[in-house]
Structure 1
Amino acid sequence: MLESLHWADPETAEVFQLPRSNAAASAQLAYNLGFYNLFLAVGAVLGVVLLVAGNAVAGLTLMTFATACMLLASVVLVLSDRKLGRLSLVQGGPAALSLVLSLLGT
């Protein structure tokens, strides 16, 4: 949501610790990135739906792939800039929890 719909908002610039002057220059990239993240989230939710519907293999595979991608992206974020550790936890924490729970349930 932040990248795709609220990139120019001052609050979003604060979250990502970016100068507001960079918002316009990077808006197209952020828009694309926001939808990329949304599609990963849809994949994780679809995995849950498949799991509940009785297709455990497909559901767990999709959930594991999507949440692993989210977790790895949060690791890349914090490795790129240690000051973004809090943001990395917000991004990767739920993914890590979901990944651990889904793997423990198998």
Structure 2
Amino acid sequence: MLIVSIVGAALAAALHVYIFWMESLAWRGPRARATFGPATDAEVEATAPLALNQGFYNLFLSVTTVIGIVFALASSSGIGEALILVGTGSMLAAALVLFFSNPGKRRAAITQGLFPLIAVVATVLALAV
């Protein structure tokens, strides 16, 4: 079950690095505009600082998750699993907030939360064994 946890966590981390890129580095570009919805140039500029900050949250959760994966592969101390749960659990919680707070973004919330959900469930099951 730990392998499923690690694969789910790695996919979640990769997706959230991509989200970081779109929010923090490519916010003004066509891909981010297509992903996050149509916006005027003024709206894009007004929200750029918020998107930059939010993107870095996604990056930091990815980094936490990757460090957890490294520890889980290198040690049996439980530190890796704990970090995987912190990173992917936070990703999952954010997806749930999006899902329940914005019905128009439910598809995005499911996309954002699927790999973290797999990682959280598999990590908990791996720890229970």
Asked if TM exceeds 0.5, the reply is yes
Report how far residue 14 of structure 1 moved.
Answer: 2.2
2:27 paired with 1:7 = yes
Q: Which moved more, 1:9-18 or 1:90-99?
A: 9-18
Where structure 1 has 5 or more consecutive residues not aligned to the other structure, the ranges are: none
Where structure 2 has 5 or more consecutive residues not aligned to the other structure, the ranges are: 1-20
- Listed one character per residue, the Cα deviations across residues 37-80 of structure 1 (whole Å, up to 9, x for unaligned) are 10101101100100111144111111101111000101111222
Question: What is the RMSD computed on CA atoms of the aligned residues?
Answer: 1.3
What is the distance in 1 between the residues matched to 2:53 and 2:47?
10
Report how far residue 12 of structure 1 moved.
Answer: 1.1
Larger RCO, structures 1/2 (Cα 8 Å, 6+ apart): 2
State the partner residue of 2:100.
Answer: 79
State the partner residue of 1:29.
Answer: 50
State the partner residue of 2:18.
Answer: none
Contact 2:22 2:31 in 1 (8 A): no
SS at match of 1:70: helix
State the partner residue of 1:67.
Answer: 88
State the partner residue of 1:38.
Answer: 59
- Counting matched residue pairs gives 106
State the partner residue of 2:39.
Answer: 19
| Percent of residue pairs identical | 35
